[in-house]
Chain A
Amino acid sequence: MTDTSTTETPRGADVAAAAATHAENTTKRALPSWLTGGSGVARYAVIIVWALMIALYGALLPDTFLNAGTFATILGSQQALVFLAAALLCTIIVGEFVDMSLASNFGLAAILVPVLTVNHGWNVWLAAVAAVVAATAVGVLNAWLVVKVGVNTIVVTLGMGTFITGIALWSSNLVPVAGLPREFSQIALYKILGLPVSFYLGLILMLAFAYLLAFTPLGRNMRFVGANREVSRLAGVPVTRIRFLAFVAGGAIAGVGGVLTAAASGGYDPSVSHSYLLPMFAATFLGTAILQPGRFNPLGTLIAVYFLATGVLGLQLLGGTSWVSSVFYGGVLVIAVTISTVLSRRAR
């Protein structure tokens, strides 16, 4: 896979294509052409590794790993990450590199629901709406600073994230707040076919996002704005509006994710928000190695989320403690970005 000649990218269609297929040709000449053509193998590599990982854990832990409960846990526990990764994709797709404030914004929405309901006596549904509005407002503020004023994205969102983490901690007096009404938790926990409804909401979100990008003019405009703003502007795309709305949509999606997370656990601990930051990046970047190599894509990201959850859960069942997730998420982030860099260089 890592023949040195693949790092050289000459000009010309045939040459580039030849360079791209070269690695597969030399190592696996006997494979059929649909596998060797383009990035056929690379596209499914993570999925194959996922299957191998499941088989390995199954062999090592036939009783604890290979049962329906494990898979229900993996599929039913990652909603926060799915929503955060979708929010991150909004800004990445339109070429704003990373919105660092998303995890904090998610935490703000998640803590506002119990704080307003339990500490301030609001109606829980009203509190939920207020939480989403607050997260969206943070998105608007980011958008205004980055898109209209032109401040650097990373500086604005990193500062904003730290700022609203502080606000969230202040609003809860630095302690976890719990005690949301049971019927409210049904928006996240209501079971359909053995899995919580929030799993399906995350699935629908990612599928709709993928559809938007692949088939609709809006999605194509978003991708072109990300690829080249000037090209898009000259073709009549409202570039500023699309960049602005990407930040707003990111904030809103993070807010909804936060509300669902608070509903699922009946409350929230505002000091854990930052722990979502790295898994969010790991999943989103690993997603660039799946299905559409070298590109950020929602379905690849969705698969990456469950790939990571499988890996962490298996290691925990094998006896790893809290260090496991740091090692796994951190390691995968570095490996995923490396793979993605190599793949996009080959596609060039």
Chain B
Amino acid sequence: MAQHQEARAVTPAPPAPRLRVASLNKTFGDNRVLTDVRLEVAPGELHALVGQNGSGKSTVAKILTGIYTPDPGASVEIDGRALDLPVLPQESRAHGMAVVHQSLGLVDEFSVLENMRVGRLRGSRFTRRIDWERERQEAEAVFARIGRRVPLHAPVGSLLEEDRATVAIARALQDATPGTGLIVFDESTRALSRRSLEHFFAILDEIVATGTSVLMITHRLEEVVGAADRVTILRDGRSVVSGREVGDMTEAELTSLILGRNLGDLDAREHLELGPDTPSIAVDGVTGLAVRDVSFTVRRGEIVGLTGLGGSGYDDLPYLLAGASRAEAGAVVLPSGRLALAGLDSVAAIDAGIALVPEGREHSGLAMHESVAENIAFAQTARAGSPLAPVSRANELALVGEWFDKLGVVPRKPHALVNTYSGGNQQKVFIAKWLATDPTFLLLHEPTQAVDVGARHTIVEAIHAMAETGLHVLVAGSDENELALLCDRVLVFEEGRIARELAGPCSPDDIVEAIYAGGSRAQLRPRGHGAGAPRPSGAASEGHA
């Protein structure tokens, strides 16, 4: 420290980085998950930390929040002051570092005020009762700082999505003195829609402009190229890029840095030529949940996308068609016959050749504490004709081997528990489970949510390949990039009905434009204005790939 200050006296060196992580190593047993990771976040910048699943970025996040202890020799400094390791959340908070967890970390049942102040509530001097008036003033002051108004007594669950995001940001910001501090967002944006995302980054831009720093740990490449000032990239536990200026970097360049190789061409698929006599599945007059009397057809080999704003009903349709939610009216006309939806249950739908891959593999996709093989075979064994006839292990392993091949699941461990697999492999197992039922009508909801760019590539290719074998595919999704890659045609929902149809190949911009009916897709955060603190270009450096 003393030397550092001497040096500063001689030449006006750039200020100490807001966050400096150096020589970060982490081993579990004989397995080294982080090797000499370096991360520097400058004051007043938006810094992104990216990498594939398993690259070590969640381990870094867990070290920053004190869940893991790094190997000896590591240093974590905030504004030049070294923290004791393992990181104590109270201490890092006192230094101005706040962490926002996945999916914002809010409790829906509690009010905005309670969510804001939990962990900071103070009792009054004698009665030890919470002084809610003081808490309210504290919370209001924070919202005033970011210039947003949110009803403090409303339950968080009743708020609009973008207001929820505001609450999470405000909560993280409240401990930082204006102009200092660091907010770490650990995959916080994965549940946000496009519009909320723009709102979210608008607030971040203002915060960063005051000199507070932001570290985004993220999967969405767009957040890096569209919003971050600098980026640090982890690959196989090493920081292969440390603090490079994002500038005009494209998503393709970023992808190859993340993977260490170029992906094969994964542009939108070729336009599908379908004759008028191609057999098709008709969705006829479906009503239920938010969906109102929707009819359309899906031709053999075609991938049709469904999208729209939250609540428009696009994401209810797959569940209605698969008998997972109750439909009031409507039918599906399959090659095998007409299937009425009212009163349809999952068993009848699966038997008719309809397979639903729902959103959220942990909630409704896989039994995480059961084996990979049992999960892949589950859609078959669950409906076995004779519940007491033993399951054939040999058939099961053959089935699993086949899908490991088709979807490129590595490592091949049929008897491992699913939760020991990476997120991308889990998603492959999840999709394999439903493709293994040999469906004619495949319904997917957010099929590549929260998987890294490599696994997304494999999954998209697998869905394309399945369509070519003669499936009819329906994809409900909110991610315009995913839909543009996957779909031949996109149906845009509004108030439960199909409002617009995008035929033929369409770009992400086309899709966003259709969803917001004319509102175009803005860059998440236009850079190059209002940056508060000077950006230390000297701090940027690159590791060796």
Contact = CB atoms under 8 A, between A and B. Distances in A.
B13 interface: no
A58 B390 CA distance: 42
B387 A217 contact: yes
B421 interface: yes
Given A13-B411, A234-B324, A236-B350, A8 B68 contact: yes
A243 interface: no
A228 B367 contact: yes
Nearest to A8: B68
B379 A236 contact: yes
A296 to B, nearest CB: 11
Given A15-B28, A221-B387, A234 B364 contact: yes
Contacts of B416: 13, 17
B382 A236 contact: yes
B347 A236 contact: yes
A232 B382 contact: yes
Interface string B382-417: 111011111100000000000000000001010011
Interface stretch (A19-27, A64-72, A73-81, A251-259): A19-27
Contacts of A25: 29-30
B381 interface: yes
Nearest to A13: B420
Nearest to A221: B382
Instruction: Pick the most buried of A15, A227, A232, A348: most chain B CB atoms within 10 A of its CB.
Output: A15
Interface in A300-341: none
Interface in B204-230: none
Prevailing SS type, chain B contact patch: loop
B280 interface: no
Interface string A24-39: 0110000000000000
Contacts of A1: none
A15 B33 contact: yes
A16 interface: yes
B205 to A, nearest CB: 31
A10 interface: yes
A235 interface: yes
Interface string A211-237: 010011110110110011011111111
Interface of A: 5, 8, 10-19, 21-22, 25-26, 212, 215-218, 220-221, 223-224, 227-228, 230-237, 344, 347-348
Contacts of A8: 28, 67-69
Given A10-B33, A221-B387, A235-B382, 17 more contacts: A8-B67, A8-B69, A10-B68, A11-B422, A13-B420, A19-B28, A212-B388, A216-B389, A218-B388, A221-B381, A228-B364, A231-B365, A231-B367, A234-B346, A234-B356, A236-B379, A236-B382
Nearest to B385: A217
B187 to A, nearest CB: 12
A8 B374 CA distance: 27
Given A5-B29, A10-B28, A16 B420 contact: yes
Interface string B268-299: 00000000000000000000000000000000
Interface in B17-42: 28-31, 33
Contact of A10 (B59, B358, B433): B59
Given A5-B29, A19-B28, A348 B419 contact: yes
Contacts of B366: 228, 231
A14 B385 CA distance: 37
Contact of A220 (B29, B324, B381): B381
A220 B58 contact: no
B529 interface: no
A5 B86 CA distance: 13
B132 interface: no
B417 A347 contact: yes
A129 to B, nearest CB: 25
Contacts of A217: 381-382, 384, 386-389, 391
B364 A224 contact: no
17 contacts: A5-B29, A10-B33, A10-B62, A14-B31, A14-B411, A15-B28, A22-B28, A25-B29, A26-B29, A216-B390, A220-B381, A220-B382, A224-B378, A228-B367, A230-B364, A236-B346, A348-B417
Given A10-B68, A25-B29, A235 B368 contact: no
B370 A223 contact: yes
A230 B346 contact: no
Contacts of B389: 216-217
Contacts of A348: 369, 417, 419
Nearest to B55: A12
Interface string B416-437: 1101111101000000010000
Given A234-B358, A237-B382, A216 B391 contact: yes
Contact of B29 (A18, A232, A344): A18
A216 B420 contact: no
A221 B388 CA distance: 11
A224 B59 contact: no
B370 A227 contact: yes
B89 interface: no
Interface in B176-195: none
A38 to B, nearest CB: 10
B53 interface: yes
A300 B394 CA distance: 26
A26 B416 CA distance: 23
A344 B388 CA distance: 29
Query: Which 8 residue pairs of A and B lie closest in terms of their CB atoms, listed nearest first?
Result: A22-B29, A18-B31, A217-B384, A227-B367, A218-B387, A236-B347, A230-B364, A235-B382
A43 to B, nearest CB: 14
Contacts of A22: 28-30
A86 B525 CA distance: 61
Nearest to A218: B387
Contacts of A234: 322, 324, 346, 356, 358, 364
B386 to A, nearest CB: 8
B393 to A, nearest CB: 8
Interface in B116-165: none
Instruction: Pick the most buried of B28, B31, B58, B363: most chain A CB atoms within 10 A of its CB.
Output: B28
